[in-house]
Amino acid sequence: MLLVVDVGNTNITLGLFDGDELMGKYRITTKTPRTSDEYGVVIKGILGANAANVQGVIISSVVPNVMYSLNNAFRKYFGTTPYIVKPGTKTGIKLAVPNPREIGADRIVDAVAGFVEYGGPVIVIDFGTATTYDLITEDGTFVAGITAPGIKMSAKALREDTARLPEIEIKKPASILAKETISSMQAGLVYGYIGQTEYIIDKIKEESGLVNIKVVATGGTGRIICDETKKIDIYDKDLTLKGLKEIYHRQNS
């Protein structure tokens, strides 16, 4: 079995593959400091009996300060050295940008998955802590990327940087014509984010000239937005995990 690990700013997402089949998906928080022993015990506990069947591990991370403990956890508790997605990794995607090393591992993984799973040209959107929009051409070239604050980040800023606004559930209210504080905040966040998403998609299509391009989305809050717009063709909650699996197999082919 292959264990794929996506280390994001908020969560560490684990995916356990048996061949091409995703057998299980699990999350632990990123922000809790852990030793290698704690990571090892937690991950083995989550995987249960399947932990003994893990033969390979691949990690994509945007949080450098957890990597030492996480790497050692897999070496000590799983007897394997994880493959880390980094500059120079064989992905099948060309990076046509001035400094390829600036492209985050998570974006490269999503680009690989979007292109392999759905073909190019494709816009891949990841609704995470930040929201990223990446353009991959028909021949698998990463040519542009846009980064925006995630909807949860926006909600947090609204709450923390104002004196009297409360914490709210992120959901679309029944109407944009809000009449009280909570639905007012929900309307601004969700309808505003739908508008942002649609505008950025339209501008990518306009400036690239790729009008009939497929749009694929993933990420924790992506479903909220995808259900409210026709600009997104596909929502794939497991896109990043599929990309990690594809990259791992490319290293061993």
β-sheet with 141-149: strand ranges across: 94-95, 141-149, 130-136, 122-127, 214-218, 234-235
Measured between alpha carbons, how far is residue 211 from residues 31, 85, 136, 161, 226 in Å? 40, 32, 13, 39, 19
DSSP strand E in the chain: where?
Answer: 2-7, 11-18, 21-29, 56-61, 83-84, 94-95, 122-127, 130-136, 141-149, 214-218, 234-235
Instruction: Tell me which residue of 132, 128, 127 sits closest to 142, measured CA to CA.
Output: 132
In degrees, rounded to 5, the angle at the alpha carbon of residue 38 between the alpha carbons of residues 238 and 20 is 25
Matching residue, tokens 């639905």: 183
Among 6, 106, 134, 236, the active-site one is: 106
Residue 109 has phi, psi (to 5 degrees) of -60, -45
Instruction: Tell me which residue of 219, 221, 213, 212 sits closest to 236, measured CA to CA.
Output: 219
**Residue 106 known to be catalytic:** yes
Count of other CB atoms within 10 angstroms of residue 245: 24
Q: Across the strands, what pairs with 215?
A: 123
In one-letter notation, the amino acid at residue 94 is K
Looking at the annotation, which residues are catalytic? 106
